[in-house]
Amino acid sequence: MPERVIPLADQRYAAAVPRIPESTPPPTGRVIDRLGRPLRDLRISVTDRCNFRCSYCMPKELFGKDYAFLPHSSLLSFEEITRLTRLFVAHGVGKIRLTGGEPLLRKNVEELVAQLSTLRTPEGKPLDLTLTTNGSLLARKAQALKDAGLARVTVSLDALDDMVFRRMNDVDFPVADVLRAIDRAMEVGLGPVKVNMVVKRGTNDHEIVRMARHFRGSGAVLRFIEYMDVGASNGWRMDEVLPSKEVIARLQAEFGLEPLQAQAVGETAQRWRYMDGAGEIGVISSVTQAFCRDCNRARLSTEGKLFLCLFATRGHDLRALLRGGCSDEQISAAIAPIWQQRDDRYSELRSALPREHDADAAAPKRVEMHYIGG
């Protein structure tokens, strides 16, 4: 099929330019994928580094102290991220989530937040700027992030017990410091803070009720995430997944809960509220109740590759276009057809996929979560 040629000022990047069928007219404005899903959310990984070693994302055995992270020169600069984001906004993006690795490890990340906070949707609205963090640096940075224009934060916390927490993230970091950071984030107005707990059967599921009891009435929204087969490194097994149905059953046994409506199309969490008014919780059930049909999320890796699914095996190199001297029009004309051709729905297909695929060294590997963010 004839392909559209994207003229590059700097041919060193030619090999990485996304292939776009000639027949796809360069669209402007909002774009819809092959399953009728509009592009709405952009998750931007600002670093592949992290100071935790969560077993479901960056197991220490594989990401040890000698692990070679990306050199700084290959990371997108704040200016490059902002330029690309502006082009995505023109195609319908209204919500940005900054992720990593651990995004607060990226030096002066609040400057990026400040740049992104100047962008407006075609209707003139500010972007919904959010960030997901492990909380280790949040207490120190919360005020600066808020002042720079960040709207909300999501903090990962997999247990209240320090031993269990350590078993999940393989570092010696006190839970108390993460709890202090959550309080600080709420103090400065980065709430309602969402707290994400990845539940691994046999490791931390006995902490579910205790976590709920701790955050009830706090104003924070606790979400329980089913353990997922992200990347190719976490040794995922189905028998370590605790279905959300069981999480809700355990909580129902302690507290009266009732389901709530979704707040937006494409929301990943199913919301439940405590019937005594003590707030709400959520469950994110990618394994047992896939939510691909409304998935409107694109992901930008820390070195400028566009991924269309958390479980993708390949990305589209937009950095090559940026550094290859392309104009905004040319880059925008490259982004749109990539989304339009999207038909990803991995979680819906997961159970039909042969697991041997994972053991097959020749098979394309799913991208690592620390590289594109959750």
Coil/strand/helix, residue 260: coil
Window contacting ligand SF4 (CB under 6 A); options: 82-90, 187-195, 328-336, 344-352: 344-352
As a whole number of angstroms, the distance between CA 350 and CA 92 comes to 28
* Adjacency order of strands within the sheet including 41-45: 257-259, 270-274, 280-284, 221-226, 194-199, 152-156, 128-133, 95-99, 41-45, 297-300, 305-307, 316-317
Which residue, 115 or 286, is less far from ligand SF4 as judged by CB? 286
Q: Does residue 272 belong to the site contacting ligand SF4 (CB under 6 A)?
A: no
Coil/strand/helix, residue 187: helix
Q: How far is the CB of 294 from ligand SF4 (least distance, A)?
A: 8
Q: Does residue 345 belong to the site contacting ligand SF4 (CB under 6 A)?
A: yes
Contact 186, 220 (CB under 8 A): yes
Q: Does residue 229 belong to the site contacting ligand SF4 (CB under 6 A)?
A: no
Which residue, 207 or 344, is less far from ligand SF4 as judged by CB? 344
Window contacting ligand SF4 (CB under 6 A); options: 16-24, 109-117, 180-188, 345-353: 345-353
x/- map, 287-316, ligand SF4, by CB under 6 A: ----xx--x-x-----------xxx-----
Q: How far is the CB of 284 from ligand SF4 (least distance, A)?
A: 10
Q: How far is the CB of 37 from ligand SF4 (least distance, A)?
A: 8
Q: How far is the CB of 311 from ligand SF4 (least distance, A)?
A: 5
Number of residues in contact with ligand SF4 under rule CB under 6 A = 12
Sign of CA dihedral 68, 18, 374, 288: negative
Query: Site residues for ligand SF4, window 39-78 (CB under 6 A)?
Result: none
Query: Site residues for ligand SF4, window 230-269 (CB under 6 A)?
Result: none
Which residue, 184 or 297, is less far from ligand SF4 as judged by CB? 297
Q: Are β-strands 280-284 and 270-274 bridged in parallel, bridged antiparallel, or unpaired?
A: antiparallel
Phi, psi angle pair for 199, to nearest 5°: -100, 120
Which residue, 310 or 335, is less far from ligand SF4 as judged by CB? 310
Q: Which of 182, 347, 370, 372 binds ligand SF4 (CB under 6 A)?
A: 347
Q: How far is the CB of 221 from ligand SF4 (least distance, A)?
A: 20
Label residue 355 left, alpha or beta by phi (over 0 means left) and psi (-120 to 50 means alpha).
Answer: alpha
Coil/strand/helix, residue 116: helix
How far does CA 184 lie from the centroid of its chain?
A: 23
As a whole number of angstroms, the distance between CA 105 and CA 118 comes to 23
User: In the structure encoding, which two tokens stand for residue 99, read together?
Assistant: 């992720």
Contact residues toward ligand SF4 (CB under 6 A) are 286, 291-292, 295, 297, 309-311, 344-347
